[in-house]
A and B are shown apart, each in its own frame.
Chain A
Amino acid sequence: MSSENKQILTTDGIPLEVSLKKAEKKNKVKAFLLVAPLLLFIIITYVFPIGDMLMRSVDDKMVTEMLPKTYKSMETWDGEELPPEEVFEAFYFDFQRLIEEEREGKLSTQLNYTKNGFKSIIKKLRRKSKSFEEGNYKEQIMAVHKRWADVEYWRAIKRRAPAYTYQKYLKGMDMYENEKGEIVNVAEDRRVHRILWLRTLEIAFFVTVFCFLMAYPIAHLLATLPMKYSNLLMICVLLPFWTSLLVRTASWMILLQQQGIVNDFFVMIGLVSDDNRIEMMFNKTGSYVAMTQILLPFMVLPLYSVMKTISPSLMRAGKSLGGTPFIAFWKVYFPLTIPGIGAGCLLVFILAIGYYITPALVGGASGTLISNQIAFHMKSTLDWSFASAMGLMLLSGVLVIYWLYNKLVGIDNIKLG
């Protein structure tokens, strides 16, 4: 007998196995079609734009496109001595076209990123080049300013030839590629970004620790109290959670100011004298206090949901087997809460590392984080590619933690409220 005959057939004569597979596939397609609209929406408005950020952060086509002839003529130049006349000539014609299109300002900004000192000499060249005569552009350009006769500046132009660059990422770590193509640190007194990265990590870490230390006891209390009391206390956790971030930050600004209630209290109990009030705002203290209070609910809720599932009889069993309450807590209760601790700490750390609003308002100069720097470059310097590069550096860190969170906790286990 052949195996075909052994198969069970459905009423329409199709083998059951085939029919089941078909149904299974249909269900899969059905489920996927339900998710598809949102997935497509998120991919178009969110995932692609993040990819676009990546492109922007490495994109360096602007200068390449502004000086096409120059770069073509520079191909044979070895960069040892001043470039030959043809490079100067090509540069002159590229530059004239930029003046016509009124884009020479952009060129000077871009080149100034590579080497300081381009801004003024490009301005001067624009003025003088109106009266240039035909031929011998090398001499004429070099006569405009002595920096045009400096080979360093021509090397700087040449360095901008590739259409893609990782310079912005180096800059984000306070490094740069020097004339010889080596990657070196910037001067000690100009290392601003490394300090910011370290400070961001430091603040996020300590905020997580503070949140954990404060959330653990109250989550335990909420989980062990009878329902009617714990529901009431839960409001203390949930009300801040639902209240606008700006409202909470505003209340901290009122509390922490020099004439504020916290300082009043310190003066009253004699901790500080009236004319010697502590500055708690516009510095790190402000960031710490406000961020801890704002992120505390995100630690309490996961801890609470884990502690709620721990049966109180386990602690009783631990005690009856001879453990003191402390040993019973440490050996029985605490290990059972570790999933909650992991979830809460990762969540708070992720949120803290990307915090922007609160540090900007109460952090001052010494309490700002990497996010504030990104916003500064987006809004003030308009160096969007640098902002993108810093954003992606931050994002890669967050994604590592997100991945860890997914491994340890599972994103479908995130609990809200």
Chain B
Amino acid sequence: MALPKYTETHYRIWHYIYLTICAAVFFFLIAPLFVIFPLSFNAEEFLVFSDGMKRLDPDAFSLRWYQDMIYGTKNPWGLAAKNSFIIAIFATIGSVLLGTVAALGLSSRHMPYKGLIMAVLISPMIVPLIISGVAIFFFMAKAGLAATHTGIVLAHIVLGTPFVVITVTATLSGFDHSVTRAAASLGSNPVNTFMKITLPLILPGVISGGLFAFVTSFDEVVVVLFLAGLENTTIPIQMWTGLREQLSPTILAVATCLIVLSTLILVTAELLRRRSERLRGINQ
């Protein structure tokens, strides 16, 4: 963004103001995440930087909150983490299966009432979570699935499929349908064509949709608050209770782990997106 030499002074000034504004916004976006890291290593139980930490005194730092997270007595995090992973994994599988198949149908130019059906399928992403939570709670209570893992998994499939539908239809929009016709003309049946030709090509979209579904389920708290019993507690529920009752540094240790997890997911998603764009011939 170097300015040409002939730029007049007031545009030059304006340009630097603009860059400063941008820097400030980026700082506002990313900086809050970084206060969590150092404080999670705090040796004291207050959520402020102690004098020792400001002097970078090694004694002011400790891993005690991480120990508490893993070995603490009456510790809910182990059960919560187990539940969160189980629920998120099953919800992801369900969302990916239903969403990918639906996206295949939606990308067909023969699909009737495409707009209307798309609007219905995407709606769980748009409708405020509190409303989804209330509605799904009524349904699960009637179906006898409240406070069960099954109920929460089903609810998260509802919330996760829109992401899969969107990412997979986006991938399919650049898909060259003549390759499937070529496969058919060479005698391949539709299932075989899908597994050998279509799926490998749309796989990046499917996986990134799956990642969205996973994160949606893994972070989801509003619907779970309505549905979960004591046995179904998840990480977000424990964080929610912790943040409302007593903000202990153990929560920050958990939060740090979650940030590391989301960084990993972000990197995976970015790599997949680039691979997908390369495969579809964008950016060449």
Contacts and interface: CB of A to CB of B under 8 A. Distances in A.
Interface string A374-398: 1100100000100110011011001
A302 to B, nearest CB: 13
A27 interface: yes
A39 interface: yes
B130 A354 contact: yes
Interface residues of B, number: 92
A242 B105 CA distance: 29
A32 B111 contact: yes
B101 A416 contact: no
A278 interface: no
B1 A224 contact: yes
B70 interface: no
B26 A398 contact: no
Contact of B105 (A33, A45, A48, A356): A33
Contacts of B110: 24, 27-28, 30-31
B152 interface: no
B236 A246 contact: yes
B38 to A, nearest CB: 11
B221 A245 contact: yes
B167 A254 contact: no
B266 A239 contact: yes
Given A52-B135, A236-B29, A250 B251 contact: yes
A31 B106 CA distance: 7
A187 interface: no
A355 B266 CA distance: 24
Interface in A247-264: 247-255, 257, 259-261
A56 B28 CA distance: 43
Contacts of B124: 42, 46
Interface string B118-155: 11111110111111101111110010000000000011
B98 A41 contact: yes
B89 interface: no
Contacts of B167: 416
Interface string A1-14: 00000000000000
A36 B121 CA distance: 11
B221 A243 contact: no
B239 A356 contact: no
A297 B270 CA distance: 15
Contacts of B136: 45-46, 49
B262 interface: yes
A244 B258 contact: yes
A238 interface: yes
B49 interface: yes
- Report whether over half of chain B's contact residues are helix, strand or loop; otherwise say mixed: helix
B108 interface: yes
What bracket does the count of chain A residues touching chain B fall in? 35 or more
B131 A296 contact: no
B266 A254 contact: no
Given A42-B158, A214-B25, A249 B112 contact: no
Given A24-B110, A32-B105, A247-B259, A46 B158 contact: yes
Interface in A362-417: 371, 374-375, 378, 384, 387-388, 391-392, 394-395, 398, 402, 405-406, 411-412, 414-417
B126 A350 contact: yes
A402 B47 contact: no
B63 interface: no
Contact of B98 (A37, A43, A395): A37
A254 B39 contact: yes
A367 to B, nearest CB: 15
Contact of B99 (A38, A215, A260): A38
Given A39-B120, A250-B243, A250-B251, A395 B47 contact: no
**Could you say which of B102, B122, B126, B138 has the most chain A C-beta atoms within 10 Å of its C-beta?**
B126
Contacts of A297: 29
Contacts of A156: none
A195 to B, nearest CB: 18
B233 interface: no
Contacts of A360: 244
A395 B126 CA distance: 10
A47 interface: yes
B166 interface: yes
Nearest to A346: B126
Given A31-B111, A406-B119, A353 B128 contact: yes
B106 A243 contact: no
B130 A375 contact: yes
A240 interface: yes
A306 interface: no
Contact of A53 (B126, B134, B158): B134
A31 B193 CA distance: 16
Nearest to B255: A247
A35 B117 contact: yes
A259 B48 CA distance: 7
B270 A38 contact: no
Given A31-B108, A237-B29, A244-B236, A257 B47 contact: yes
Given A35-B102, A45-B158, A354-B129, A411 B262 contact: no
A221 interface: yes
B36 A261 contact: no
Interface string A211-226: 0001101100100110
Nearest to B132: A46
Given A214-B25, A361-B240, 14 more contacts: A27-B108, A235-B266, A244-B262, A254-B252, A257-B48, A259-B46, A357-B240, A375-B130, A378-B137, A384-B138, A391-B135, A402-B119, A406-B115, A411-B119
Interface of A: 24, 27-28, 30-39, 41-43, 45-50, 52-53, 56, 214-215, 217-218, 221, 224-225, 233, 235-240, 242-255, 257, 259-261, 293, 296-297, 325, 350, 353-357, 360-361, 371, 374-375, 378, 384, 387-388, 391-392, 394-395, 398, 402, 405-406, 411-412, 414-417
Task: Enumerate the 8 nearest inter-chain pairs by beta-carbon distance, A residue then B residue, closest first.
Answer: A354-B128, A34-B105, A35-B105, A49-B135, A38-B102, A31-B108, A49-B139, A27-B110
17 contacts: A31-B111, A31-B112, A32-B112, A34-B102, A41-B161, A52-B138, A224-B1, A238-B270, A240-B32, A244-B219, A244-B239, A250-B251, A293-B32, A357-B221, A361-B244, A374-B131, A398-B128
